[in-house]
Structure formats: C-alpha cells, structure tokens
Amino acid sequence: MKLRDIRSLVNVEGPARSVSQRLARRCHSIEDVRKMAAARLPLSIFDYIEGGGEDEASVRRNRSSFDDWSFVPRWGAVENLDLASTLLGKPVAMPLMLSPTGGTRLFHPEGELGAARAALAANVPYGLAHLSTTPMELVSAQTPGLRRWFNIEPMADKGMLQAMLDRTADAGYEALLVNVDCRAIGHRERDYRNGFTAPPSLKPRTVVEGALHPVWAWRFLRNDAIAFPNLDGTVAEGPLASTPDMWRTLLSGSYEPTDWDTLCDLRSRWSGPIAFKGCVSADDAAIAADIGIDAIQVSNHGGRQLDHMASPLDVLPEIVERVNGRVEIIVDGGIRRGSDAIKALALGANACAIGRPYLYGLAAAGQEGVAHVLRIFAEEMTRTMMLLGVSSIKELQDNGPSFVRNRHAAFARSTHEYTGTQTATPKQKSSS
C-alpha cells in the first residue's frame, strides 16, 4: 500500500462541538446512554432509577418478554415510511410518550422541564407525575405547545380530588393518567439498603458518593432544594424522611378505600381523556372500557410495585382481544429498543410509553440527553419498519400479528408436529 493510500484512510475526528454531537458519537443505543447515566450519578440515585420491588423478578421479566417474540419480515416495496400516528385523538410524530416519573430533579437539575421540552421538540406527549419536583403550572408555562398529561391516584376525599382536578385543568393538562397499582408502596429493597431518601439526606455515605460524583453534587447543591409542589394541600409541608414515609403520608391523607365507583365518579368530574394506568388484567380493562375510560396503560409500574406481577407484553394480546377496540392501549415496561416498541404495536398497542430510558438521558445530559434518547427510538423504529417491509404505523397495526411470532408457541407447534409424525409412522407400517 502506498503512502497516499494510507493517508486517504486516516480519519481523525475533531473534538465534539456540542452536547448533541458528543452524544451522537458515544451513545448508539439506550444501553450506551444508561452506562453514561450510571457514571454520572451516585449509586444510590442510579439505583433509585434501576430498582424494582423485592427480588425484581418483574423488572427482569419486562425485558425478557420481548425476547419471546421474533420478527417475520415480508418482501415488498416500502414507500414514504412514516412514524406518524394518533394518540387519544390527536396527532403524534411517533407512537411514543414519556411516562410520569417522580423525583426527576434528583437526576439532573433540568428535571421535568428538560424532559418536557425534549418531548415538545419531538412532538410526543409528556406525563407529569403527582410526585414531580416541578410545579405543574411551571411545566405548562415553559412548554405551551406540549401535550401534557397529569398522573394522579384515585382519591376517596371528593373535596381534595376536585381541587386537584380544577388545578390540573387550569394548568392546561389535556388528560389524566390514573394509577391503579399504587394502593401501597412496593418494597424497593435497593433503596433501603442504600439508605436512599427523597430528597437525599446528608449521611456519611451520601457525602462520599457526592465527592465521587462532584458534577452531580455541585449541580444538586447549587439548585433549589428538592420538593414536591404538586402535593400542596395533600400532605403537610416540609421535608419527608424517605420515599416510603412520603407515600404513607399521602396514603393516609387521601387513600381511604377506593373502588370502581371512585373511578366512575372521577369520570363524571373530568371532561378530558382518562387513561387507566397500571392494568394487566383483561377483566379490569373491559370494565374500564364499560365505564367510559379512554385508554388502558398496560403496565406493572416498571416492576417497582408488586413483584412477579405479569409483564405487560405477556398480557397484551389478551387485553387487546378483550377490549376489542373500545379503548386505546398504551404499553410500558422494559422497552429499550425501537424494535421493542414495534413488537408491542404489532401485538395491538396504539402506543408505547418509556420511563427509565428517558431518565438515563436526563441524567447523562439533561434535555439534550432526553432528546437523544427520543432520536434513538425514532431511528430504531424507522429501521425496524424498513427491514420488516412496513411503510406506516397504520399498516403495522392493521397487519401486526403477521409480522411477529412467539418463539415458545412455534417451538411447541413444531415439537407437536414432529412427535405426531414419529408416532404415526409405526401404525402406518403395521397396517400395511
């Protein structure tokens, strides 16, 4: 090889000129973003994102359930490929939303505002948690064109409920996400072992972790103290000792026994769409459709509540069949690839929701990190559809079951056929 040939092969990149460019060079998947987040955060804070209930079996199953489904591409022209879809009657750039997460400013000072701005730029809905660290009104003021949904819990206290609904409507939130999987806080043992509290308290371990992550510590200390402003009027003011303490205080204030009548009453009080969040039961999904709920968010709370709760993907086909198009279906839990989202859509979901992935992006690089995560999902969904031979989300949803196969079902079928062939042969020989 001649010297000029060698020179033509040399490609020296200059330094990244922006956060966006640095992310594009270093993070080619959600797992890459996750690793960057892990390096930026103290272990106890990162474990708060990662952890689940008890033995974390639900967390693991949420991921492994996607491996049970394989793609069956079909040959044909793919023209004008488009991720655009609709969700709760309005257009979205892709069938994806950011699910509500609590304590978001723990991961980066931009917190909910950074995530909301990235969602606005990507034209996808954003769910704000009841336990958000930014007031709902401020999120509205900063993102006037964003489709904002607010996450609440069923409340037996009608006065408290109406006050919350009035405040939510006045702040311009179009839909409610109603948690039905939080009658008690999950036993999140990682947090207990780490001595995690929200907001963090100064303990020797906290000081050491902060010293090992000085950028995070500096940002945390120089910004406003972590608080939960959407709880005003629900719990007493002042810091709460820990996440379980915070939930116990909230539960004791508003969580007297609630049932389907509570949700019927909520439906009568709220004129906008309502999503029934935390459902893995086809029976419950059918009842929710009967009482006028608009959407089912098939979810086990990311495996953070009841351990061994069914994986959303495992129950999705049954729920889709049972509700028979009467409500829209959103799926969350374990989604880490655009191909995961495509599998859920092929199995009948209208859209998918992500929580941990965008928190990784937020921890890694604030708003730019969330935007990068959304770009990864868009690119991966586009590439998967192209390789499947699908041009649009509607085409995928109309013909979804033909594009996926459950590997366990295929194995059982092939084993049955093989066994049947083997047992038939001797009988044929004996009769001849």
Q: What are phi and psi of 178, to 5 degrees?
A: -105, 110
Kindly tell me the sign of the dihedral angle through the C-alpha atoms of 161, 304, 31, 361. positive
Tokens of 223: 């910004």
| Residues 217, 202: Cα–Cα separation, whole Å | 12
Q: Which of 108, 213, 301, 372 is catalytic?
A: 301
**207, two tokens:** 């000081």
Neighbour tally for 373: CB within 10 Å: 28
Is 213 known to be catalytic?
Answer: no
- Positive/negative CA dihedral, 204, 209, 215, 216: negative
Pairing of strands 69-71, 126-128: unpaired
- Burial class from Cβ neighbours inside 10 Å (0-12, 13-18, 19+) for residue 24 reads middle
Tokens of 121: 């730029």
Q: Is it true that the peptide bond before 199 is cis, omega within 30 degrees of 0?
A: yes
Of 262, 237, 258, 263, whose CA–CA distance to 249 is shortest?
237
Q: Estimate to the nearest angstrom the gap between the alpha carbon of 385 and the chain centroid.
A: 21
**DSSP letter for each residue of 84-146:** -EEETTEEESSSEEEPP-SSGGGT-TTHHHHHHHHHHHHT--EEEPTT-SS-HHHHHHH-TTS
The 3-class SS string of 371-406 reads: HHHHHHHHHHHHHHHHHHCCCEHHHHHHCHHHHEEE
Compute, in degrees rounded to 10, the torsion defined by CA atoms 114, 118, 121, 124: -120
| Sequence letter at residue 15 | P
Please name the residues in contact with 328: beta carbons below 8 A apart, sequence gap of 6 or more. 87, 88, 294, 295, 296, 350, 351
Question: Catalytic positions, please?
Answer: 301
